[in-house]
Structure 1
Amino acid sequence: MKSRIFLYLFVFTALLVLFQYVTANNMQKALNSDVSRLQEQTEKMEDSIKTLNLKVLDMQYFTLENNDDALAYYDHLNLDNPSRYIEDKLLETNERKGDNPLIPYEGMESDFKINKIKVLNHKWILADFSDGKYWGELLIKYELKDDLSVDFTMLDHLLYTRSN
C-alpha cells in the first residue's frame, strides 16, 4: 500500500513537473514574440522619428532663428529673441479698432486680424489673417530700427475665395 502511494505521488509529481515545463515553455515563447514585436515597433518608431526630425529641420530652414547671417543684423540690439519681439510688434497692429491696417481688405464677417506669423529673415514676414470665416496671407517687409521700433510694409497679399 505504501509503495502504491509513493507511485501515485511520483506520477502526480511527474505530471505536475510536465505541466510546469509546458506552461513555462509557452510563456517563454509568448514573451519572445512580444519582445520581437516590440523591437519591430521600436525600429519603426525610430524611423518615423528620424523622418519627422528631417521634416522639422526642413521647415525651420526659412526662419530667423536658424539664419545666423540675418541674426547678425540684430547683435547690437541685445534682444534675446528678435523673432518673438518682431511677432509681438506685428500683433500689436491687431489692437487697433477695426481691420488691421496692414490688411488691404475689409472684413466681411468681422474685422480682419493677423493670426499666425512666420519671420523668415531680417527683412520679410509671412502672416496669415482671418475674420473668422474668410482668410488670406500677407508678405510683409519690416525694418527693426536701433530704437527697437519696427516699420511694417505690406508687399503682397491674397484672399482665399470660398467655392461652394
Structure 2
Amino acid sequence: MNAKKAKESYDGKIENLMAKIEEKEALLKSRDVEKDSLIDKILDLTYFSLESDEEAISYFEEQGYVAEELALTISDQIVSQNKAGADNPIVPFVGMEGNMAINKVRLLNHKWIIADFTDGVYWGQLFIIYDVRKDGVVDFEVEKSFLYPRN
C-alpha cells in the first residue's frame, strides 16, 4: 500500500513539474517573440539614419571622413549654437516663452537632417539640408520647419 501511495505522490510531483516546465517554455517563447518584435522595431527606427545608410557612409569615407565621427561633429555644431539668452540661429522662430534651442538632431543620410526644438513651451521640428565642403566646413540650410500650435 505504501508503494502505491509513494508512486501516486511521485506521479503528482512529476505532473506538477511538467506543468511548470510547459509554463516556462511558453514564457520563453513569448519573450522570444517580444525580442524579435523589438529587434524589428529597432531596425525599422534606424532605417532612416546615417548609421544604417551604407551609401551615405561610403560617400563620407570617399571624402576622407569617418562617418560616425563626422555625424557627432555635425550634431555638436548644431546643438552648440544653443546659447544662454539667445535663440539658436538655425531655428527660424523667435522664442516666445524663452530662447529657442535645439534638443535632438538626427542625421538621416549624407545630405539631410531632422531636428527638434523648443523654447520650453512651444516646440517644433526642422528639416535641414547640409553639405560638408572640401575644407571641412559644414553649411546648413533649413529647408522646412514648423511650430506646433499651443493647446
TM-score relative to the length of structure 2: 0.87
Q: Which has the higher helix share?
A: 1
What is the CA distance between 1:77 and its match in structure 2?
2.8
1:30 counterpart (16, 27, 31): 16
Residues 117 and 126 in structure 1, CA contact (< 8 A), matched pair in contact too:
yes
Q: Counterpart in 1 of 2:65?
A: 78
What is the CA distance between 1:107 and its match in structure 2?
1.4
Aligned letter for 1:147?
D
Q: Counterpart in 1 of 2:141?
A: 153
Q: CA RMSD in A?
A: 1.9
Go from structure 1 to structure 2 and tell me whether the alpha carbon gap of 1:145 and 1:22 turns closer, same or farther (over 3 Å shift): same
Q: Counterpart in 2 of 1:117?
A: 105
Residues 26-55 of structure 1: CA distance to partner in whole angstroms, max 9, x if unpaired?
A: 222221111101111111111222222122
Larger deviation, residues 19-28 vs 114-123: 19-28
Larger deviation, residues 95-104 vs 18-27: 18-27
Structure 2, gaps ≥5 residues long: none
Count, aligned residues: 149
2:39 is equivalent to residue 53 of structure 1: yes
Percent identical among aligned pairs is 32
Q: Counterpart in 2 of 1:95?
A: 83
Structure 1, gaps ≥5 residues long: 1-13
Aligned letter for 2:127?
L
Q: Counterpart in 2 of 1:105?
A: 93
TM-score relative to the length of structure 1: 0.81
Residues 77 and 146 in structure 1, CA contact (< 8 A), matched pair in contact too:
no
